[in-house]
Amino acid sequence: MSIPGLGQAAHAATYLTPSIASSVAIHDLQANSEWRFEVAIGRSIEAKVISGTAELFGTELALNHTYTFRGTKAAIFTWHGCQLEITGTCEEYTAEETPMVSYVNTHFALEKLRDDASGGRGECPKVLVVGPTNAGKTSLVKLLTAYAIRVGRQPMVINADSREGLLSLPGSLTAVPFASVMDVEQGWGSSPTSGPSPVPVKLPLCYYYGLPSPEDNTKLYKPVLTRMALAATSRLSDDLDIKNSGMIIDTPGVISQGKGGYDLISHIVSEFSVNIILVLGSERLHSDMLRRFSGYRTTTGDTITLVKLDKSGGCVDRDDEFMLQSREASIKEYFFGDIKRTLSPHTQQISFDDATIYKIREANALLSSLLPGGQEDGESELYEKVEPSLAMLHCILAVMYASPVDNQETIRDASVMGFVYMAEVDEKKRRLKVLAPLNTRVTDRPMVWGSWPEATMSLVG
């Protein structure tokens, strides 16, 4: 799935003329510079390292191998200089000033902690990355993960941002141990599908939130995150290699932009026993984090180390239209595959009476504000059991590893079995037509309907 950030670089950048690359172009990059590019959704370019060495978000690019990039914003960096051959059309420029030195120094500091943990001299690093929206948090997480993999580590990557999926669809929260190289063309790589993959697939542990922002329903977001933290820390305790490598946690930008969000940061710190916070691209946020976590100790008795890092000059604001197209592309890839792997989703006809569907309740900010002392409404249920209707048409529903007779808390805490697409709703015949990536019965499981990702009509038709 597409890389959700543009590469990291700080302060001023030395530009070549911003241009539209045409047909075949050769770029000679000097040491410690990067070539930044933006490929529109639906378009592609090919990139090849002809000489020298280069990397994309920490993953080294093979010499004379052609890489294809589609609908993405990224950057190819070189430590020692390289020559690139680019085929295709994209917006691009070269930057000679980047924060890569501070990023790689952060990696070396984490490696020191991992060595200490392996020798029984301390705890493994549990890193939380915070910062405003479009500050490059996901790109930094990807880079630190790639560097850890290159030295033989197996870090656990946590995605707490439901707006964008990590090896899953948007709306989900995931925890993934990374033990093999990442696929630079697909961003994080791929999760299991019915087709072959040149890069080993990753096995994400997936939970469903179904709303775009943690603040839309903190009553649901917090326990889902707590359940994922329990599963992730349990995996760490069972696997020594992952335990010594630690965790890297990505967060949504919205929680770094207000006091309500700071409470969610505190919740993440507490649940995952975070001992390092990387603050990206915000002096004020760094100051607020210092005040909030000065003297704070984790459940293991560790103090929290705060590190301020510069935002890359290559980070760009991704407009709503680009993000919508990215979500639609990831959904289409989930059901139908991509150019390299074509998948054929299974169609199932389901009676209204056989479907168990719960709709996520969105928190009502007005009603919450009327409660005394800012208390939350503890009476309302998390989900509303609903009968299928035309409002579900073209929506994505999560199929949960639970039973239709389970209570709402059990369904909330269950991991995601997969997703289905509501292709048709016939209210007269009381039948549904759904698309599923695998031929498995979905009537034996409860399905949860959220508002995120939003309905997409471009998937079929």
Bind-site residues for ATP:
34, 73, 134-139
Bind-site residues:
34, 73, 134-139
Angle, alpha carbons 253-103-249 (nearest 5°)? 40
Residue among 34, 245, 258, 36 at smallest CA distance from 130? 258
For strands 156-159 and 247-250, give the pairing. Answer: parallel
C-alpha radius of gyration, the chain, whole number: 22
Q: What share of the chain is helix, strand, coil (3-state, %, to 5)?
A: 30, 30, 45
- Phi, psi (5° rounding) for residue 259? -65, -35
For strands 44-52 and 82-88, give the pairing. Answer: antiparallel
As a whole number of angstroms, the distance between CA 272 and CA 229 comes to: 6
As a whole number of angstroms, the distance between CA 190 and CA 1 comes to: 7
As a whole number of angstroms, the distance between CA 460 and CA 447 comes to: 21
**Which stretch of DSSP H or E encloses residue 150?**
helix 137-150
Record the tokens describing residue 216, joined without a space: 């839309």
How many helices and strands in the chain, by DSSP H and E? Answer: 9, 24
DSSP calls for 91-133:
EEEEES--SHHHHHHHHHHHHHHHHHHHTTSSPPPEEEEE-ST
Alpha-carbon torsion angle 101, 105, 106, 108, nearest 10: 140
As a whole number of angstroms, the distance between CA 343 and CA 438 comes to: 10
Cα 349 versus chain centre, distance: 32
- Phi, psi (5° rounding) for residue 86? -115, 130
The SS3 of residue 373 is helix
Q: Are 69 and 185 in contact (CB under 8 A)?
A: yes
- CB under 8 Å, gap of 24 or more: what pairs does 385-389 form? 385/356, 385/357, 385/358, 385/359, 386/357, 386/358, 386/359, 386/449, 387/352, 387/357, 388/352, 388/355, 388/357, 388/425, 388/427, 388/430, 388/432, 389/425, 389/427
